[in-house]
Structure 1
Amino acid sequence: MKKFTIDQIIRILAEADTPGNSVAATARKYGVSEQTIYRWRKKYRGFSASEAKRLKALEEENARLKRLLAEKELEIQALTQVIKKNF
């Protein structure tokens, strides 16, 4: 699986949207599926490269915070069980 940067994705989408280019041809050129281009288009349409980078950073931060919350909930659950056993 190839990893593309946000800048590359934005450029690929712009290329796919130019008159005379098809999604299929652009997908073949970059070695991705047409579905990948459509997924990127759905996610990043209308974004500039900086806005798309900001979105990705926010998604990563959100995932990190969700993991942290899950860990804390597990700790609370474990401590609650220990307290119940002691009383």
Structure 2
Amino acid sequence: MSGKRYRPEEIISKLREAEVYLAEGVSVGEVIRRLGVTKITYYRWRREYGGLKVDQAKRLKDLERENARLKRLLADAELDKAILKEAASGNF
């Protein structure tokens, strides 16, 4: 069962909202209930996006996407290299 996917902008606004509640003295349990997320999600968001601005979060996600693409390209190139090496050695 999958829940709603939040965009980085939404996550940052929810974290800022949580900071306001916590500054008012509201407990963490009450804050996550008001935000409508689980405790695990809240702490994961705080670890990932804590202290980031919206533009920084967008840049982070773009870089993560680019990194994943480059890793796939490298894996494909290494596979091609291994196939060519095996074919050149005559072990086919």
- Give the TM-score normalised by structure 1: 0.87
Q: 1:9 aligned to 2:26?
A: no
Give the root-mean-square deviation of aligned CA atoms.
Answer: 1.6
Structure 1: stretches of 5+ with no match in the other structure: none
The alignment covers a number of residue pairs equal to: 86
Q: Percent identity?
A: 45
Return structure 1 stretches of 4+ with deviation > 6 angstroms: none
> Higher relative CO (CA 8 A, sep ≥ 6), structure 1 or 2?
2
- Give the TM-score normalised by structure 2: 0.83
Structure 2: stretches of 5+ with no match in the other structure: none
Mapping of 1:36-47 within 5 angstroms?
Answer: 36-47=41-52
Mapping of 1:18-57 within 5 angstroms?
Answer: 18=20, 19-20=23-24, 21-57=26-62
